[in-house]
Structure formats: C-alpha cells, structure tokens
A = this chain, B = another copy of it.
Amino acid sequence: MSLEIVSQSRCFEGTQFVYRHLSVETGTPMRFAAYVPPQAAQEDLPVVWFLSGLTCTEENVTVKAGAQRVASELGLILVAPDTSPRGEGVPGDPEGSYDFGLGAGFYVDATEEPWARNYRMRSYLERELPALVAEELPADMARQGIMGHSMGGHGALTIALRNPDRFAAVSAFAPITSPLSCPWGEKALSRYLGPDRATWREYDACALIEDGARLPELLVDQGTADGFLESQLKPELLEEACRKADMPLTLRRQEGYDHSYFFISTFIEDHLRWHAARF
C-alpha cells in the first residue's frame, strides 16, 4: 500500500503528518493525520486512535486539541482518521444535512444502497488502516488505545467493544452512547443499515454491552453545558448498561463545559495519561 505525505510540520520535537492513501474498503482516497513523537527515532511506540465527530475531518483534533504536547512527552503516536469517505462519486446526503453522509460515516459498514459501496468505515478502521499504520509508521501495535468525541466517541466505544483484546485503554469525550436511542443515530443507522434495528446493535455501545461485550474499564468525560447532552448523548444509558454488566465506568460530568474543542483540549491530557498508564 502506498502512502502519500500531504503535509508535515515539526511540532513539539516530533512531526505532525497528514497522509493520503487509496482505500480498498471505501474505494476512495482517504486522508489521516499522524503525530509521530521524537522517541520514535529509538523504538516503536504505542498508538492512540482519535475518532472525530460529525462534520469533522482528520484536521479538527490535529489543530485544536493540543494533544501533541502530551504525546511528545509520553511517547505516543496519535492517529486521527477522517470521518467518512469523500470525493467524486461518493453519495452524500441529498438534503445536505450535517448529520448524515459526508463527514458523518458513523463508523459503520453500510448495507443499504447507495451507501454500501463507499461507507465502510468499520472495516476501514478495524482492518485496513491499522494494517497500513503497522506497516508504515514506527508503531507497536501490541500497545493501542482508542478515544473519540461525540460520533467518534460512539465509534471508539463500539470498535473497542467488538475488539476487546486490541486496546489497552478506551475513553471518550461526550460520546453518543446509544444510536438506537437518539435522533442522530436513528437517522444515520436507518439509512446506512436499513429498518431492521436488530442489525444496529453491533453499532450501539449500550446494546453491545447488553449483548455480552465487555471491556476492563472505560473513561468518559461529559460536559454539563453540552447542548446535545439530553437529546443525543445520554450518558445515563451507558451508566445503566455498565452498572447492569458490572463493567467499570469512570463517567466524569464536567461542570459548565460544552461540546467544543475547548472542552476536549481541557481534558485530553488526562485521557492521554490514562491511556499511557495502561500500555
């Protein structure tokens, strides 16, 4: 597989890369960002995946979260994928909404037309991109963590719950906890996966836990002034699912914080240290 460097900038003594490659899964060129800290000159390093939210690309967390400073100190490679396929011939939302189609892949393998050919973000992130990262970056794939924000928090939780042996640490910022139980999820999954809600369950963190998936522990931060808290995010559903499953969840309700990167940038250092302590 060939990896093209779109840009590279020195940052905290390491290098912030943006790469492009042709994805077999999505059938499109895909971009992702990777921060490689200075310790990579000596040894292969742990990888922390950051999955982004609705409307985002690989760029948002890369320029807004301030994560490179901490990754440079701790010796972590940060990988930030895009949130959907893009480009010529990729169907978006005919209505042009922000919460479906381009920038809103919801980390699923779509089964419905016209989405099924390109919207294969699950397979892209569970198989294709990890193989590429393992091959092309100074990465120790035996030490991986995953985190994400909002739709990307949903992505991080569900990918980890389906692949519990892959990740030493899993965390989320303001995640969508149950696409089965919120308007964003109902809209996206009904179109990508069709009306049979049984097929949605492998893309719903709460349903996965109900159905027996387990992780040793979870860290979740949620701002109390988040405008999507009650209608879309519903951390209480995750709390209840974890309680019933006896699965350790550290859910921190952060007073006065909203859904923005001002919230993420405040707490991402905590998350990265929490991940690093588990590698």
Which residues of A are interface residues toward B (Cβ below 8 A)?
Answer: 9-13, 16, 63-64, 66, 68-69, 223, 225, 256-258, 260-263, 265-266, 269
The 4 closest A-B pairs by CB, nearest first: A66-B66, A11-B262, A9-B262, A10-B256
Closest to A261 in B: B63
Contact of A11 with B265 at beta-carbon distance under 8 Å, contacts A63-B63, A63-B64 already known: yes
Are B10 and A262 in touch, CB under 8 angstroms?
A: yes
Residue from B11, B225, B257 within 8 A of A266 (CB atoms): B11
Q: Which residues of B contact A13 (CB under 8 A)?
A: 266
User: Contacts A9-B260, A260-B9 given: A265-B64 contact, CB under 8 Å?
Assistant: no
Contact A265 B225 (CB under 8 A): no
Rounded to whole angstroms, the CA-CA distance of A6 and B69 in the bound complex is: 29
Task: Give the interface centre of A12, A64, A266 by most chain B CB atoms within 10 Å.
Answer: A266
Which residue on chain B has the smallest CB distance to residue A7? B260
How long is the Cα–Cα vector from A146 to B263 in the complex, in angstroms? 26
24 pairs of residues in contact across A and B, judged by CB atoms under 8 Å? A9-B257, A9-B258, A9-B260, A9-B262, A9-B263, A10-B223, A10-B225, A10-B262, A10-B263, A10-B266, A11-B263, A11-B265, A12-B265, A12-B266, A13-B266, A63-B63, A63-B64, A64-B64, A66-B66, A66-B69, A66-B265, A68-B262, A69-B265, A69-B266
Which interface residue of A66, A68, A263 has the most chain B CB atoms within 10 A?
Answer: A66
User: A234 to nearest B CB, angstroms?
Assistant: 21
Question: What residues on B are CB-neighbors of A225 within 8 Å?
Answer: 10
A266 to B15, CA, bound (A): 11
Chain B contacts of A9 at CB under 8 A?
257-258, 260, 262-263
How long is the Cα–Cα vector from A262 to B67 in the complex, in angstroms? 11
From A16, A257, A262, residue with most partner B Cβ within 10 Å: A262
Q: Which residues of B contact A64 (CB under 8 A)?
A: 63-64
Contact of A257 among B10, B68, B69, B265 (CB under 8 A): B10
Q: How far is the CA of A261 from the CA of B63 in the complex (A)?
A: 8
